[in-house]
Amino acid sequence: MQSALRLRDRVAASPAAVGVAVVTVLALAARLFALGQRVFHWDEARVGYWILRYQESGAYEYRPIIHGPFLPQVNRLLFEVLGPTDFAARLPVAVVGGLLPLAAWLFRDRLRDAEVVALAALFALNPVLLYYSRFMRNDVLLAALMVFALGFFVRAYDTRETDYLYAGVAALALAFTTKENVVVYVGTWVGAFALVFDHRLFLARGTDRTPLDLVWSSLRRAAVGAWRWRVPLVVAVVEFFVIVVVFYAPRPEFGQALTNPAMLPGVVGAGTVGAAEAFWGTWVGGGMQGHQYLPYFEHYVSVLQAGGLVVVLLAAGGFLADRYGGDEPRDLVSFAFYWGLASVFLYPHQRHPGALDSGPRHRPAGDTGRRRRRHRRPSRPPWTRRGRHRERRARARHPGRAGRTDVGHGRERGLREPAGQRLAARPVRPAGKRGATRRTRRRGEGRPEQRRSDVLFYGEHFHVPDEADARQPPVTSGNWHNRLPMTWYLERGGVRPTSSTHLDDVTADGPPVVITLADHEKDLSPRLENYRATTHEITLTNTETVVFVDRDALDDDTRT
């Protein structure tokens, strides 16, 4: 009874804390619900494939073109525990994005209670943040970690407690392991801080102190504070580099160095100086900035208008109201506004060539476009109410069929193929589970001279002269990227792909799955009479792709 009363007193004393907690729970629920339902996007599949290869080989080296090591290192461990699923791959981003509303509580001494809850709600319900929190990319990770870092640093300044300093450094170091444009965040912080300090200089004009006096007094206070915190600051620097090295150090050298101290200098150097040189050589000095500024700026503004216009208007209104509606502007509000404003002008510098061309055509993650069912028209389209009920009843009667021979799953709005034919981007089931992978392997073992692979890619578009080229990055054949996102599902299912540009290699007793462009369907159909064909749109350009599946494999699947 007394504990219940104490809890009620705490809730009454801090309704903002309750509001933030409730919003955070809702944010996590929204991000975790059906997290694995959507087909992997092209970019998710590219990163996910190399994580699977890292998991199998144990070899990892930082490659700036696929960004920081956070997702490879964290997801590799998650895959060991949960298995390499779409849900597990997206889980770190979903959790971090779902916890982002808690960062609003760190600013409670500088914002009103209603503002704290409103900020938490914005972090939780903003459509862009919500969408990309359900996407295996580094953008939300970076943004959330930098907001947490700022919040912890503000709390450390307000409370003079070193625990907040260490938490902020940890968040900052983890942000450095996510994506290279963390340097843009740091740059905007520096600029925003300079403008906030300029506020102080401007306000000093109405006092007896000159701006120069304010500068010197601020420098003295900073020096005194740094001296008092000299030990925590040294610990924080060490903490930062330890986290960076743990993530960036190459594998398996990092594990070997833990038992062989003689290797530590080389491993630490590779995880710090070597990683910095690789980043600089790719994103700064490697030609990634070789583009005109204005077209990218215009594109950035158009994207901001489409996805963040409401937030921009709220930010501008809040900044103006705080600046001119009170006694003096609050540092945090001004800092946040300048941070966002500086980003608008800095990010067009950071965009690499190609982004401008692909951006307008870029579909939402996992949207594989429409899928056309062939050979039989459904009596009731699945998007109608009766069609959905019919489909649910069919799945209830035959639960074992769902997804068994998939190269892709059709769990998105739009036409759905019957069980066993959802082939847009998800392959046969992961190794260790019953499905087409295991059955096609059994068929291959019986006729090794005929079943040398599980999947055949036909045509120049998908042709890779040497499949072993895709075992370790980078892949020298550009055609391999045309297979995305299918490669993620094929690799996680242990499927053995091969490719050919010769029509004679396509035979009825060949691999149970044949994938080609729609342009080649007429050539392949007579050779694959016992195969069922479905057409899908994949990759960023919605390339029409036909997937042929051996009917015998489908029949075997339904009997298993």
Query: Are 516 and 457 within 8 A, CB to CB?
Result: yes
The confidence band for 153, taking pLDDT boundaries of 50, 70 and 90, is: very high
Query: Are 319 and 333 within 8 A, CB to CB?
Result: yes
Classify residue 32 by burial, with Cβ atoms within 10 Å: 0-12, 13-18, 19+: middle
Which residue would you say has higher pLDDT here, 238 or 406?
Answer: 238
Q: What is the pLDDT of residue 10?
A: 56
Structure tokens at 237: 């620097």
Rounded to whole angstroms, the Cα distance separating 327 from 147 reads 27
Give the closest residue to 498 by CA, choosing from 445, 549, 459.
Answer: 459
- What is the total residue count of the chain? 560
Percent of the chain residues topping a pLDDT of 70: 77
The confidence band for 426, taking pLDDT boundaries of 50, 70 and 90, is: very low
Q: What is the pLDDT of residue 50?
A: 94
Strand order in the sheet with 543-550: 371-372, 531-538, 543-550, 513-517, 455-458, 497-500
The confidence band for 418, taking pLDDT boundaries of 50, 70 and 90, is: very low
Classify residue 373 by burial, with Cβ atoms within 10 Å: 0-12, 13-18, 19+: middle
- CA distances in angstroms from 477 to 300, 315, 485, 488, listed in the order given: 31, 46, 16, 17
- CA distances in angstroms from 358 to 68, 128, 361, 560, listed in the order given: 22, 19, 5, 43
If you average pLDDT over residues 426-452, what whole number do you get? 36
Q: What is the pLDDT of residue 351?
A: 58
Instruction: Give the type of residue at 11.
Output: V
Q: What is the pLDDT of residue 388?
A: 42
Can you point out the beta strands (E) in 210-318?
none
If you average pLDDT over residues 71-81, what whole number do you get? 96
Which residue would you say has higher pLDDT here, 382 or 521?
Answer: 521
Q: Which DSSP helix (H) or strand (E) runs through 534? A: strand 531-538
- CA distances in angstroms from 255 to 58, 70, 132, 472, listed in the order given: 10, 17, 33, 20
Rounded to whole angstroms, the Cα distance separating 203 from 334 reads 14
The confidence band for 293, taking pLDDT boundaries of 50, 70 and 90, is: confident
Q: What is the pLDDT of residue 11?
A: 54
Least confident of 11-15, 291-295, 352-356, 363-367: 363-367
The confidence band for 556, taking pLDDT boundaries of 50, 70 and 90, is: low
Q: What is the pLDDT of residue 323?
A: 85
Q: What 3-state DSSP class applies to 138?
A: coil
Return all residues near 371 (Cβ < 8 A) that are at least 6 apart. 410, 414, 415, 416, 417, 422, 424, 534, 535, 536, 537
Structure tokens at 272: 């710090």
Q: What 3-state DSSP class applies to 548?
A: strand
The confidence band for 129, taking pLDDT boundaries of 50, 70 and 90, is: very high
Rounded to whole angstroms, the Cα distance separating 236 from 233 reads 5
The confidence band for 540, taking pLDDT boundaries of 50, 70 and 90, is: low
The 3-class SS string of 428-439 reads CCCCCCCCHHHH
- Res 381 pLDDT > 70: no
- CA distances in angstroms from 85 to 480, 489, 550, listed in the order given: 22, 9, 25
If you average pLDDT over residues 146-168, what whole number do you get? 96
Q: Which DSSP helix (H) or strand (E) runs through 246? A: helix 230-248
Give the closest residue to 61 by CA, choosing from 259, 271, 234.
Answer: 271
Classify residue 216 by burial, with Cβ atoms within 10 Å: 0-12, 13-18, 19+: exposed
- Res 447 pLDDT > 60: no
